[in-house]
A and B are shown apart, each in its own frame.
Chain A
């Protein structure tokens, strides 16, 4: 029972970390978007992910017995303590990369959260129910961008191909389960992410083929996020995100 509780907290913080890292990346487009409307739309999605992270963190904090706050989790842990899957922390690069990653994750989250709605843990299920609606909207938004980039100019197509190449090795980790997460999945709280892989590949391939693009089945799977092993990018992300709290501890605004 105690182990299960520890696993659940770990699970929640991992999901919160995924959302925080991606949210911060998306927020980097704020005031840098290609035009005002897209700038606002991307910032909106960043806000959705912040909201999602808060729900996961708040539940984790409650289970821990309120020994720390959600802000402590976000602002006072270093990169080895962050447990997000790596794809979320990769730099925004150009607009094509941002949108291809977003599309990949939107497809993933629509399926993942749909299953998580049936979690035996009521609170996890409630969070998933709220979040899945957001992801369905995100997907509706990212799909036409993929088509547009793939079928646009030679430059947009080239940039999209580069994005696909860059992401090739980071998608696999989405479907790799840790042992403790398997235990949680067996008890009905978590979802077996491995089971989503075939459908994800099928859906993405079919969609890309419509625009005569493809995404290879990667052999190399870079992993480590859930165990605190990250790319060189997360430290820079955290140093910017945590700067204020680190330099003025306890500051509120």
Chain B
């Protein structure tokens, strides 16, 4: 037999090209009727691998009944430095909140 144990022994040998790995965001739904919630991210070769790694990295202890993986680059996100213009203008319009309005006394169950 010619099999040798070629398990790499140094970090240098172990360095591999990780450029082909994409980052995926993982969303898990913990129970029926609830929403998927972001739980973390991982590296994977393909969406199929990402789904399996999500299972192995995030769902080993009955954390959920369903999982989504989304390529991080496919997410369009708000920008930190733009957040003031993005969110603040909403703050001074209290009439947009239901709590702004006083309930008529006769309404008991709302």
Find chain A residues with CB under 8 A from B6 CB. Answer: 93-94
Closest to B54 in A: A37
Given A40-B53, A91-B3; 17 other pairs, CB 8 A cutoff: A32-B14, A35-B16, A35-B18, A35-B21, A35-B43, A37-B43, A37-B49, A37-B56, A37-B57, A38-B53, A40-B56, A91-B4, A91-B7, A93-B5, A137-B55, A140-B52, A166-B2
Asked if B53 and A144 sit within 8 Å, CB to CB, the answer is no
Tell me if B70 is interfacial: C-beta within 8 Å of chain A: no
Number of B residues contacting the other chain (C-beta, 8 Å)? 25
* B3 pairs with A34, CB closer than 8 A: no
B-facing mask of A8-41, CB < 8 A → 1, else 0?
0000000000000000000010001011111011
Closest B residue to A148 by beta carbon equals B45
Say yes or no: A166-B7 contact (C-beta < 8 A), given A32-B14, A37-B44, A144-B48: no
Q: At the interface, is chain A mostly helix, strand, loop or mixed?
A: helix
Using CB atoms and an 8 Å cutoff, list the residues of chain B in contact with chain A: 1-8, 14, 16, 18, 21, 42-46, 48-49, 52-53, 55-57, 60
- In the complex, A181→B23 CA distance in Å? 49
- Which of A32, A38, A90, A141 contacts B3 (CB under 8 A)? A90
Contact B60 A92 (CB under 8 A): no
A141, B5: Cβ atoms under 8 Å?
no
Q: Which residues of B contact A36 (CB under 8 A)?
A: 43
Mask, A130-144, CB within 8 Å of B = 1, is 000000010011001
A205 — which chain B residues lie within 8 A by C-beta? none
B residues in contact with A232, CB < 8 Å: 1
What chain A residues lie within 8 Å of B1 (beta carbons)? 166, 231-232
Shortest C-beta distance, A51 to chain B (Å), equals 13
B48 to chain A, nearest CB (A): 5
